[in-house]
C-alpha cells in the first residue's frame, strides 16, 4: 500500500488547481463554436468526449464543463490513463480491497468512489486496456463497479469527461478500442481545433500569457511585442498548440527587460550548436538521440520506415548527395543504400 499511497501524493490529482478554471481565451469562430457546445452540454449528466491534439485545451475545457454543470459544488477529479500501468490504473480508478494483491494492506477508494456527486476527467483515454474499458462501460451504463479484489458491486454517481488526442473510431475499427464504450461516450464529442486553425487567437492568447507572466515577475506593466516578434508568433505552426505558445511567450517575457518591448522569440528551446544527439551523431557507435515516449498504439513498421527515411536523408544532406559517402556514413555498402533509395522512393533526392 505504501507504493500506492506515495503514488497518490505524486500523481494524486486531487481537486483541480486554480489554474484549471482560469479564463478560456479566444474569439475565432471555431473556438466560439466550442464554447457554445460546452455551455449546451455542461448541464446534462451525460458523458462527454473531448477530442483534440495535445495542448488544445482539453483539460481546461473539462474543468469548464464541471463548473458550468449542476455538480459545480461537487468535486472535480482527474486521472491520466497513460501515466501508469494497467493494473495500477484499474486500482486507481475503481479502488481495491485490503489483501487484493501483495502490498494492498488497506482498502483503497478509487477515483470513481471519491468523485461521487462530482465529475471525473479521464485524460488519454485511448491508452486504457480492454479490461479497464469494460469496467468503464459498466460504470457509465449502470453506475456500478467493483473494487479490485472486492466481491460487492458499489454504486456511484459520477459524470465522466474523457479526453483523447487519437481518433477513437479508427482505433475501434482496428480493434484497439471497444466499440460499445465508444458508442456510449460518443453521446457528445467536442473536437477542439488546433491553434493553427485559430490564427486570430494567437495574438490574444500571446498577450494574455505575456501579461500574466509579467505580473508573476512582479512587473507593473507589459510593454507589448515588437511587430516582428508578433509576426514570428503568428507565422509559426504550433504543433504543440496553446501549451507550446504559452511556453514560448513566457520564456520570451522573462528573458526580456521589464521596460522594453519583447523582440526575441525562441521557438525551439533545444536549439543549440551543442544539442545532444546532433553532436553525438558524429561519434562512432554513439547511441541514437533519446526519443520521446511514443504514442501507443502505433504502426511500428511505418514508424521504422519514417525513421530510416529520415536518417538516409540526413546522411545524403551531410554528404552533399554523394551516395558513396552517404553509404559510408550509414555503415552500408553503396548497393545497399541504392536498395533503400529505391525502396523509399528517394531516388530523386540527390536532385533536391
Which parts of this chain interact with ligand ADP (CB under 6 A)? 24-26, 52, 54-60, 242-243, 246
The dihedral formed by the CA atoms of 48, 36, 18 and 265, expressed in degrees to the nearest 10: 110
Binding mask 194-233 for Mg ion (x = CB under 5 A): ----------------------------------------
60 contacts: CB under 8 Å, gap ≥ 6: 20, 21, 22, 24
Between 147 and 246, CB nearer to ligand ADP = 246
Q: Residue 24 Cβ, how far from ligand ADP at the closest point, in Å?
A: 4
Distance from C-alpha of 37 to C-alpha of 43, rounded to nearest angstrom: 11
230 contacts: CB under 8 Å, gap ≥ 6: 203, 206
Between 71 and 208, CB nearer to ligand ADP = 208
CA dist 290 to 1, 174, 287, 296, Å? Answer: 33, 30, 8, 17
Q: Residue 124 Cβ, how far from Mg ion at the closest point, in Å?
A: 8
Between 60 and 69, CB nearer to ligand ADP = 60
Between 47 and 57, CB nearer to ligand ADP = 57
* 41-80 binders of Mg ion (CB under 5 A): 59
CA dist 31 to 57, 191, 199, Å? Answer: 11, 10, 11
Helices 86-94 and 2-11 sit at what angle, rounded to 10 degrees? 80
Q: Residue 225 Cβ, how far from ligand ADP at the closest point, in Å?
A: 17
124 binds Mg ion (CB under 5 A): no
Between 135 and 159, CB nearer to ligand ADP = 159
161 binds, among Mg ion, ligand ADP, none (CB under 5 to 8 A by kind): none
Q: What are phi and psi of 317, to 5 degrees?
A: -65, -50
Residues forming the site for Mg ion (CB under 5 A): 59
Amino acid at each position: 500500500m505504501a507504493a500506492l499511497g506515495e503514488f497518490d501524493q505524486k500523481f494524486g490529482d486531487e481537486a483541480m488547481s486554480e489554474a484549471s478554471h482560469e479564463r478560456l481565451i479566444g474569439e475565432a469562430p471555431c473556438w466560439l463554436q466550442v464554447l457554445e457546445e460546452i455551455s449546451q452540454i455542461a448541464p446534462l449528466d451525460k458523458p462527454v468526449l473531448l477530442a483534440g491534439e495535445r495542448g488544445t485545451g482539453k483539460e481546461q475545457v473539462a474543468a469548464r464543463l464541471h463548473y458550468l454543470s449542476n455538480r459545480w459544488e461537487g468535486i472535480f477529479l482527474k486521472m491520466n490513463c497513460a501515466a501508469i500501468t494497467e493494473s495500477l490504473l484499474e486500482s486507481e480508478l475503481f479502488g481495491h480491497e485490503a489483501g487484493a494483491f501483495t502490498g494492498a494492506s488497506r482498502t483503497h477508494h478509487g477515483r470513481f468512489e471519491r468523485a461521487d456527486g462530482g465529475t471525473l476527467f479521464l485524460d488519454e483515454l485511448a491508452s486504457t486496456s480492454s479490461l479497464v474499458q469494460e469496467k468503464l462501460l459498466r460504470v457509465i451504463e449502470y453506475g456500478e463497479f467493483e473494487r479490485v479484489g472486492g466481491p460487492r458491486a458499489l454504486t456511484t454517481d459520477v459524470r465522466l469527461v474523457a479526453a483523447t488526442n487519437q481518433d477513437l473510431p479508427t482505433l475501434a475499427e482496428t480493434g484497439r478500442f471497444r466499440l460499445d464504450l465508444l458508442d456510449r461516450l460518443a453521446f457528445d464529442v467536442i473536437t477542439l481545433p488546433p491553434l493553427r486553425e485559430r490564427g486570430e487567437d494567437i495574438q490574444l492568447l500571446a498577450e494574455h500569457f505575456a501579461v500574466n507572466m509579467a505580473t508573476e515577475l512582479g512587473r507593473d506593466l507589459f510593454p507589448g511585442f515588437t511587430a516582428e516578434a508578433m509576426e514570428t508568433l503568428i507565422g509559426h505552426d504550433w504543433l504543440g498548440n496553446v501549451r507550446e505558445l504559452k511556453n514560448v511567450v513566457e520564456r520570451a517575457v522573462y528573458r526580456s527587460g521589464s521596460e522594453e518591448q519583447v523582440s526575441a522569440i525562441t521557438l525551439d528551446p533545444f536549439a543549440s550548436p551543442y544539442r545532444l544527439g546532433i553532436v553525438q551523431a558524429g561519434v562512432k557507435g554513439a547511441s541514437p538521440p533519446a526519443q520521446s515516449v511514443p504514442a501507443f498504439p502505433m504502426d511500428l513498421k511505418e514508424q521504422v520506415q519514417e525513421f530510416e527515411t529520415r536518417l538516409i536523408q540526413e546522411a545524403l544532406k551531410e554528404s552533399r548527395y554523394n551516395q558513396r559517402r552517404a553509404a559510408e556514413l550509414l555503415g552500408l555498402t553503396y548497393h545497399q543504400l541504392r536498395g533503400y533509395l529505391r525502396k523509399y522512393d528517394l531516388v530523386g533526392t540527390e536532385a533536391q
